Chains A and B, each alone.
Chain A
């Protein structure tokens, strides 16, 4: 009688992946604030994306190799607007979770989902946050200087704190909403990226802020010129005197506006050249 071959020990059943928790989303959100620390032209925010996704990867995969290969999957090129990156992180976390649960989702599918959301978010987010909202927030801070006059001419000027605070509040009132809740929203709506994008209403928001920015700049011009005109002629010498005092400002404004039409983005050079020309002219007159 042949002894039956001893039965091979049963293969270990892999532990089912643990679902993502609120703490993981909070960790991913906090790490998304460092998205650009290794920013480089070749991969842009790729390493930062992998770094921000790491809490989810740690939760979903147990072995060092599995974690490493999941991390490497997200290290390639990635570029979106940093304020809106949470939405893509949420979608990627959802797909990684399904993959860890055994649902067949390939690398290409994850990459496609990331790109399909990241590109429109960059296209909508850059003009909204960089071109419109950030300059507008600075403008609100500057307006604070004209709207909050000195309470006491010899006391400390509290506008030095009020103006930056106004700028910070204006920008972050809009941006922090996306930054703090983006990961959760992206995770919840991972299957309907189109609806997710539409729900953000980024394009109408941009149009609104453009109009507000132009309106406030018009107000700022008047609020600046009014006291300048008031103080230009304390002795009441007439319009000609006021015009001659305001002429350097007007000349600097008009010439720079014309030069900027031709060479936008050259403000620093124009300012330094204008200061030099004014210095030379002042020594001749």
Chain B
């Protein structure tokens, strides 16, 4: 299968997954927004509200946990879990393809929901759209009326859907780890196709970088087909000062349906892999299976991720905060371009760069891998930062900062709590999310990490190839729990530091 054909197939698959996720995220986001609103308490609860409360099987925290679990499960783990089912289906490539579509959808749809919940709501209210329809002359042709409706949708209520579609499309289109472990190939006669695997295979026996870059142009073209229109359309949305209230759906039926869907998604994407891993880890611990010196490698991965987050933070601040407004679009596009090439091509480019005489002395450092990881994650991080910035409640934050100047200690304490809520907490958790992505990034470290500093994820992937279940499961559990504990500690420290500084 030629690269163009494989790319076209990958494009279709990613577009279908993204479309489905963008559509399905709407009712889910509405339910989550409804669950965000505090419930009325006391005797004033009416019958409908009481029914709604009874129907809510799961609390708000559990609902969010279920939503995020499939999204945050490392892709390696998902691929690892689906390796065997895919193998059993080797004679049924269409079924394997269908499973891959389902896995991609269930893994990424949470991102679409998050975009709908946290991104700024539409600048056009339903009333405004209705008024516009009423004002439209009745004698216009049907096609023109339809075009006007589409235009209104694009400039108004459709914008969160477009953002969700673009982000899911990019994530699904660039996916590699699950495809590789599920045996998705470069498009042989009997198997489904993925351009990432095709490009990987093309490197066999060594291909010049220029050739790889030439090949990377085809998938890049497909990405730009989605990214460029999305950026043009979303620019006005992000910068619009007009906001309307977000829709919320508190109906019992929607809530129950959402809960069932989220439980199923979590079981399929997070539950299965977790069961395999924890069962194996238990056996591994009982039999004291050798796990190898993993802690230093977890430390190396954490150091790479932390440095990458630091760099990403600086670049995001420069691009979205300090750069002149008229240059912002160009700077953001320039910063996103390397990441849009995909992890493999970008890492090869960085490898080549650090073989050049001026930079060669840094080739055995972590600088190349940190740079590559940062640029791989930069598009996602910029979207995240832009979303956080545009949904920021600036007036409330300003009031809280003024309150922090108060001579009264209780008021300063309250201000510290408010500032933490309004400003620090959001960026902290966004940083944790980017750090998490960097921590589990595989392709860049496997190509660029120097011999003295191989992160755990590279070693683990190597082990996964040989199905060493029990020791590997112990390693996986350790690699999840150690940073989890560190993040929990940091989250606690964050509250303490914010209050200590502001009081």
Does A pair with B?
no
B-side residues, CB < 8 A to A, are: none
